[in-house]
Amino acid sequence: MRKIEAIFCSDIHASSNAPIFRCNEPDWFAAMKRPLDELKRIQEQNGNPPVIIAGDIFDIPKPSPDIINFLLKELPDNVYAIPGQHDLPYHNFEDIGLSSFETLVLSGKIRLLSRKPLLLKNSRIFGFPWNFEIEQPEKNDGRLNVAVVHKYIWIPKHNYIIAPESNNINNSFFKKALKNFDLAIFGDNHSGFESKVWTTTVYNCGCFMRRKQDEISYDPAIGLFTDDGEIERHYLNCTKDKYSSITKQFEAKEFINTTDFVKELSGMSDIDLDIDNCIKKELNKQDVNDGVRKFITELMEDVK
């Protein structure tokens, strides 16, 4: 009988505030807890295999304490993870010590997956965080080689319109980088898919929960990796999720008159040219919907 050797997921994007698309949730923390409870239940039913998160546990690298405490309580035990760009201040691994991802590591709630492999019964699992090069595994010891990577990859119908061709999983770069891996797990692209690069199985996790309008037709899932080297997608129960149509209204409106905005910027002195303050000033000047203002403010926080 096949056994579950590991469970893979990615892009939880835990946040204190509900994204606009989920603003109809009566309790956002309860909404985030539902898929985490399902993940824990599946883990417990299968003998507590490790849960491996391929990046972006957090939506921003330094959130408020309530979301850190929430994850300390609600994440499963026996978790390994790599940081994605949303977990890292300035998207820089060198600043991981300033992140809440590191808080989870220091607390023992998660363990950092690295180039030194996690050794399981039938597999060796190597971690490559955001912006890390994929390195070839050490000499094979008879176990399957698994790469866990946080990097945007795509195939047709699972990409944004101007996705770089260099990130197409069929690009020659990936054929070389993945040639000695039996399985490659990716996080970052929220649209999950499976593919093949020569003999390597590629499993893009996709998002853990729906957070944006364009994810409404996507079914969040986790990957169940079995001891015979297969991985199957288990779809999470989203029937209790609440969504808002407010983002559709935004799409039909012009957020800000950008022509006037650029003129305003060009008239500012070097002393005035602090981008955060400039945007805030313009948001206050323009007749902007409160929801739009909240959306842009969250985007500004995301890149800090």
- List, as one string, the DSSP characters of 196-237: EETTEEEEE---SS--SGGGTT---EEEEEETTS-EEEEE--
109 falls within a domain: yes
What confidence tens digit (pLDDT) does each residue in 19-48 have? 999 999 999 999 999 999 999 999 999 999
The last residue of a domain, from among 183, 207, 235: 235
Tokens 């020659």 belong to which residue?
A: 172
240 falls within a domain: no
The last residue of a domain, from among 208, 235, 262: 235
Helix (H) or strand (E) holding 38: helix 28-45
Cα–Cα distance list, 176 to 58, 136, 151, 241, 263 (Å): 31, 9, 16, 41, 48
Looking at the fold, whether 147 and 294 belong to one and the same domain comes out as no
Domain that holds residue 259: 246-302
Looking at the fold, whether 263 and 231 belong to one and the same domain comes out as no
Looking at the fold, whether 129 and 271 belong to one and the same domain comes out as no
161 falls within a domain: yes
Looking at the fold, whether 10 and 154 belong to one and the same domain comes out as yes
Looking at the fold, whether 64 and 184 belong to one and the same domain comes out as yes
The domain tally of the chain equals 2
200 falls within a domain: yes
How far is 286 from 255, CA to CA, in rounded Å? 9
Looking at the fold, whether 146 and 287 belong to one and the same domain comes out as no
Looking at the fold, whether 80 and 153 belong to one and the same domain comes out as yes
254 falls within a domain: yes
53 falls within a domain: yes
The last residue of a domain, from among 183, 210, 235: 235
The answer to whether 122 and 129 have CB atoms below 8 angstroms apart is: no
Identify residue 288 by its one-letter amino acid code: V
Cα–Cα distance list, 257 to 44, 117, 170, 268, 300 (Å): 53, 51, 40, 17, 18
Q: Note the pLDDT of residue 140.
A: 79
Helix axes 65-74, 100-107, angle to 10 degrees: 40
> Which residues, given as ranges, of the chain have pLDDT below 50?
249-263, 265-266, 268-273, 303-304
CATH number at residue 178: 3.60.21.10
- Calculate the dihedral angle through the C-alpha atoms of 80, 86, 89, 94, rounding to the nearest 10 degrees: 50
Q: Note the pLDDT of residue 1.
A: 79
What is the per-residue burial (b if ≥16 Cβ within 10 Å, else e) of 72-91?
A: eeebbeebbbbbbbbbbbee
Looking at the fold, whether 224 and 85 belong to one and the same domain comes out as yes
Long-range contacts of 270-277 (CB under 8 A, 24+ apart): 276/300
241 falls within a domain: no
Q: Which two tokens mark 100?
A: 């809440």
The answer to whether 216 and 262 have CB atoms below 8 angstroms apart is: no
Q: Note the pLDDT of residue 283.
A: 65
Strand partners, 9: 53
Strand partners, 124: 119, 145
Looking at the fold, whether 287 and 183 belong to one and the same domain comes out as no
Q: Which two tokens mark 135?
A: 């390195």
Looking at the fold, whether 215 and 101 belong to one and the same domain comes out as yes
Looking at the fold, whether 183 and 258 belong to one and the same domain comes out as no
Looking at the fold, whether 100 and 167 belong to one and the same domain comes out as yes
21 falls within a domain: yes
